[in-house]
């Protein structure tokens, strides 16, 4: 199982070598984040798209979740947030399908999302087959038959297939991983290893969110300058 400790060195990421450690307050490519050589399109409009690649099986994702929800609330005016449940092997496919079924039903609030995490990571609720998953959602107050109809649907299968394709496009090989604006990739592992940081995971989460804040601010500033330059060029033509 590929987890937090692995720094993502897949071909397709562009690195810049830095002689000195960067600070999350002034993030550096190849130290605090990586840049995709082939950026993926974003449909977030004026906002900045932020995606979390995660898995319910991942204890680090569980630990990151509460902090990430608070970050989302703080950045709500500037970002559009999306979760993508990855699938590295068949054992993870059922949890991925659970996530996308709840999403398709419009049930997946942040609160319910965290309850699923809590059931798997703390209570060790067995979710190894369809019957166990049906029992689980029924206990959460969701109609079992309605859930299972959606669970088996083409809609959910398409969502799962799309997640696997995104996982491949972004070359995700560890979680949790954050992708910003379809081009910047960061994570607790990238920030910790890039800065040779050996503190607590909670401190690494804070550092990672500082990087996220700075990347979002950078993108918004770039867009503002681009609009300003475009307006200036247009006025000169008149």
Percent of the chain exceeding pLDDT 70 equals: 89
The answer to whether 86 and 54 have CB atoms below 8 angstroms apart is yes
Does the pLDDT value for residue 95 go beyond 60? yes
Does the pLDDT value for residue 23 go beyond 70? no
pLDDT band at 19 (very low <50, low <70, confident <90, very high): very low
Please give the helix or strand (H or E) that residue 84 lies within, else none: strand 79-85
More confident of the two residues 198 and 52 = 52
The answer to whether 204 and 191 have CB atoms below 8 angstroms apart is yes
* pTM to 2 decimal places: 0.86
Query: Cα–Cα distances in Å, from 205 out to 24, 144, 147, 181, 196?
Result: 11, 36, 34, 20, 15
Taking the C-alpha atoms of residue 156 and residue 137, their distance in angstroms, rounded to an integer, is 16
Indicate the DSSP class of residue 26: B
- List helix spans (H) across 106-170: 110-121, 130-139, 144-151, 154-169
Taking the C-alpha atoms of residue 163 and residue 96, their distance in angstroms, rounded to an integer, is 9
For residue 118, the model assigns a pLDDT of 95
Q: Which of 107, 121, 8 is nearest to 58 (CA)?
A: 121
Q: State the average pLDDT over residues 141-156.
A: 97
pLDDT band at 15 (very low <50, low <70, confident <90, very high): very low
Radius of gyration of the chain (CA): 19
Q: How far is CA 129 from the centre of its chain?
A: 26
73: burial class by Cβ within 10 Å (0-12, 13-18, 19+)?
exposed
Q: What is the dihedral of CA 41, 43, 49, 52, to 10 degrees?
A: -70
Digit-coded pLDDT (tens) for 60-80: 999 999 999 999 999 999 999
Does the pLDDT value for residue 211 go beyond 90? yes
> 14 forms bridges with which residues in the sheet?
35
The answer to whether 194 and 21 have CB atoms below 8 angstroms apart is yes
For residue 6, the model assigns a pLDDT of 41
DSSP 3-state of 225 = helix
- Strands 48-54 and 79-85, by their bridges, are parallel
């Amino acid at each position: 199982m590929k987890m937090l400790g692995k720094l993502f060195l897949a071909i397709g990421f562009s690195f810049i070598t830095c002689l000195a450690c960067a600070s999350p307050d002034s993030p550096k490519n190849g130290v605090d984040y990586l840049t995709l050589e082939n950026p993926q399109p974003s449909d977030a409009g004026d906002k900045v798209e932020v995606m979390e690649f995660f898995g319910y099986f991942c204890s680090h994702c569980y630990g990151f979740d509460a902090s990430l929800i608070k970050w989302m609330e703080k950045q709500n005016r500037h970002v559009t947030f999306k979760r993508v449940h990855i699938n590295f092997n068949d054992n993870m496919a059922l949890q991925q399908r659970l996530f996308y079924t709840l999403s398709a039903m419009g049930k997946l609030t942040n609160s319910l999302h965290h309850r699923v995490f809590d059931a798997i990571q703390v209570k060790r609720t067995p979710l190894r087959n369809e019957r166990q998953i049906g029992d689980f959602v029924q206990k959460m107050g969701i109609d079992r038959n309605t859930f299972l109809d959606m669970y088996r649907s083409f809609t959910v299968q398409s969502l799962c297939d799309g997640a696997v394709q995104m996982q491949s496009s972004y070359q995700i090989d560890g979680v949790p991983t954050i992708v910003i604006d379809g081009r910047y990739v960061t994570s607790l592992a990238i920030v910790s290893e890039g800065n040779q940081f050996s503190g607590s995971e909670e401190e690494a989460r804070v550092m990672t969110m500082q990087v996220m804040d700075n990347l979002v601010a950078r993108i918004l500033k770039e867009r503002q300058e681009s609009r300003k330059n475009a307006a200036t060029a247009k006025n000169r033509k008149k």
